[in-house]
Every structure is written in C-alpha cells, then in structure tokens.
C-alpha cells in the first residue's frame, strides 16, 4: 500500500524527522522558512497530511476545492491559527500536542514573572552596556514575588503547572478565573481559590498571568478596560496567545503608570512587536520560547506522529480537536 504523503512545514527535531521518514512519504523543510499562503493552498491539494506550526496561518482557503488533505497534525497545543470550522466542514481532522509542553511553558511564565518583578532585563542591559557602576542600595529595586498574589486566567494544564510552581515554590496566593468550575481537589493541590469573573480578579492581583486559549473568543480580553482595573504596581504576563492582549492598550497603560510592568512571550502579529513596547524598560520581551527545550520539542513532535499513526491506522487520534 502507498505510504501517506506528509508535509512538515518547518524544521523539526532530527529524531522526530527520522521517525516520520521511516513511516511516511515525507517532505521535510530543510530551509526552515515559513510557507507562503499560496504554498499552503497548493500543499492541501498534494498531501494527505500537513504538519503545521503556529507560524502557518491555515485559513478557510486551504480547505476550499476538495483538497487531498485529510489531517492537520499541529505541532503545538494552541490552534487559533487554524480555521477549525472550515476544517470541520471539509472533513479534515485536526490534532494538537497537549500535556507535553505544560511544564516548560509554565517555567517560561515563571521566568517572565521573576524577570519583570526583579527588573532582570533592565539589569542585564545595564551590565552589557558597560555603564554599571557597582552595587547601590537603591539600584534597580523591584518588587517581591514571594508571597505576592498571582491571578491566573484559564486554569487548564499550563495554568495549573504555573500555580504549583508559584504556590509551592514562591508561597504565592493563587486566584483563578476559569470559564467552568474547577474541581475543589485541583484548586487545593496548589492552594488556589476560584473567583467569579475576570473583573473580580483584576483588582485583587499583584501578577496576572494569561493561560486561556487565543482566537476570536478571547481577542483583546485584556484591553484598556481590563488594564484600568488592575493595581498600579501590578505585572501582566502573557504566554498564551498574542491576540488575548491589546498591545496598543498595554503600551498606553504602561506609559500612563496604570500597571507597573509586563512580560510577554507572544504577540498579536508575531514576529512584529508593537514599537512602543520595544522601547520600554519595564517590559520583558521573549521570542515565543514557551515550549523551547530539547525535551519538550522532541516530545511535541512524537505526539504529532502518534496522532498521525493512529489516524492512518484507522483509529481516532488521541489529541483530536476537530
Ligand atoms: C503552542 O504549543 O501552542 C506554542 O505556543 C507553539 O505553537
């Protein structure tokens, strides 16, 4: 029987590319440049499976015209870059990679919390500039993270992993806002308390960390109104999806002193960052590093291949989202 034809849109960890090559008629992306929208449309007509990432915008046009495409095995947990309604209508299965990246993404959220609170980016820039004149009692004084109140928006796997770190590692009080009620034992595991609405949460927290899905439903969830409800010494951290925060409103809130600092790993129009944020000392900017460890990136790839193997064996893929 002919092997399924599979397109990998970016370079992947070598061990996973080798596994794919052993099982499929696979096209790898050795140049690691993102495909154009036209190339993605053409690929849908040519391949049984496409394995995209967050840098591939898979719009409705990819599914138009009865393509050969049968499955999209997304390399990543978030899939707001895929037009899932159009995939469903076209009968194309979509899978993602949950679980395996929760710890590392929570680690990056904690990194941003600490960097923003303790002014680590500013300090690093100072040392590298050669302008550091030595220790002073009043130099680069930040805010204490241990014991502070952490608000978590979206209490899925990554939100829970952050809550465990924050509570057990830093003695933070954790408040949670989530669409559905969180089981009492899940909250108890990290000493967390669920609040009713985002508006209830905002004025209570020293740090707000976002872990909800992206997409239209949560676009600009944190905009001018929400930022206006936060404490003036609060910190905003986003490792979820860029569209959840209105970057323009965030820049204005920071400039006006409505909140104290921000740590961002994701952006509205990656890799572009709102220019006003680029010049602000109290904003930590990371290049979407959430899942970027050797262990996790390999595990994500294997998770995609597990889904693919199940699909082409006629089974329901374990991480099917459409
Ligand atoms: C994820 O897994 O969603 C990461 O942000 C990369 O897409």
What's the Cα-to-Cα distance from 186 to each of 159, 163, 190, 197, 289, rounded to whole Å? 11, 10, 7, 19, 27
Over range 188-216, report the average pLDDT: 97
Distance from the CA of 76 to the center of ligand 1, in angstroms? 4
Residue 312 has pLDDT above 90, yes or no: yes
Mean pLDDT of the chain: 97
- Local confidence band at 155 (pLDDT 50, 70, 90 cut-offs): very high
Pocket test for ligand 1, best of 54, 57, 109 (most atoms within 8 A of CB): 54
Residue 1 has a pLDDT of: 75
Instruction: Please answer whether residues 92 and 72 qualify as being in contact, where contact means their C-beta atoms are separated by less than 8 angstroms.
Output: yes
Over range 221-241, report the average pLDDT: 98
Which ligand 1 atom minimizes the distance to the CA of 74? 7
Any idea what the Cα angle at residue 57 is, between residues 53 and 61, rounded to 5°?
130
> Based on the number of CB atoms within 10 Å of its own CB, is 22 exposed (0-12), middle (13-18) or buried (19 or more)?
exposed
The DSSP code for 228 is H
Residues sharing a CB contact under 8 Å with residue 29, sequence separation 6 or more, in sequence order: 8, 9, 10, 11, 35
Over range 29-50, report the average pLDDT: 97
Which ligand 1 atom minimizes the distance to the CA of 54? 7
Pocket test for ligand 1, best of 51, 52, 98, 101 (most atoms within 8 A of CB): 101
């Amino acid at each position: 029987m002919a092997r399924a034809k599979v397109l990998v849109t970016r370079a992947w960890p070598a061990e996973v590319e080798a596994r794919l090559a052993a099982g499929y008629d696979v096209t790898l992306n050795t140049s690691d440049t993102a495909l154009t929208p036209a190339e993605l449309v053409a690929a849908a007509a040519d391949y049984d499976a496409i394995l995209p990432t967050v840098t591939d915008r898979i719009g409705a046009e990819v599914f138009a015209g009865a393509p050969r495409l049968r499955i999209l095995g997304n390399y990543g947990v978030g899939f707001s870059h895929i037009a899932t309604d159009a995939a469903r209508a076209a009968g194309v299965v979509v899978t993602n990679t949950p679980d395996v990246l929760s710890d590392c993404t929570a680690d990056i959220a904690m990194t941003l919390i600490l960097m923003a609170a303790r002014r680590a980016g500013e300090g690093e820039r100072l040392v590298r500039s050669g302008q550091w004149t030595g220790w002073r009692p009043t130099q680069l004084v930040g805010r204490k993270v241990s014991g502070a109140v952490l608000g978590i928006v979206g209490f899925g796997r990554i939100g829970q992993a952050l809550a465990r770190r924050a509570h057990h590692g830093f003695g933070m009080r954790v408040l949670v806002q989530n669409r559905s009620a969180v089981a009492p034992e899940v909250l108890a595991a990290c000493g967390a308390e669920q609040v009713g609405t985002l508006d209830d949460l905002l004025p209570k927290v020293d740090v707000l960390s976002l872990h909800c899905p992206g997409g239209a439903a949560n676009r600009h969830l944190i905009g001018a109104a929400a930022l206006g409800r936060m404490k003036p010494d609060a910190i905003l951290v986003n490792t979820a999806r860029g569209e959840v925060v209105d970057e323009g409103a965030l820049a204005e809130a920071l400039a006006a002193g409505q909140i104290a600092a921000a740590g961002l790993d994701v952006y509205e129009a990656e890799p572009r960052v709102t220019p006003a944020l680029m010049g602000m000392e109290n904003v930590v900017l990371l290049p979407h590093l959430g899942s970027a460890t050797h262990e996790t990136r390999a595990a994500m790839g294997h998770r995609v291949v597990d889904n693919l193997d199940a699909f082409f064996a006629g089974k329901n893929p374990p991480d099917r989202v459409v």
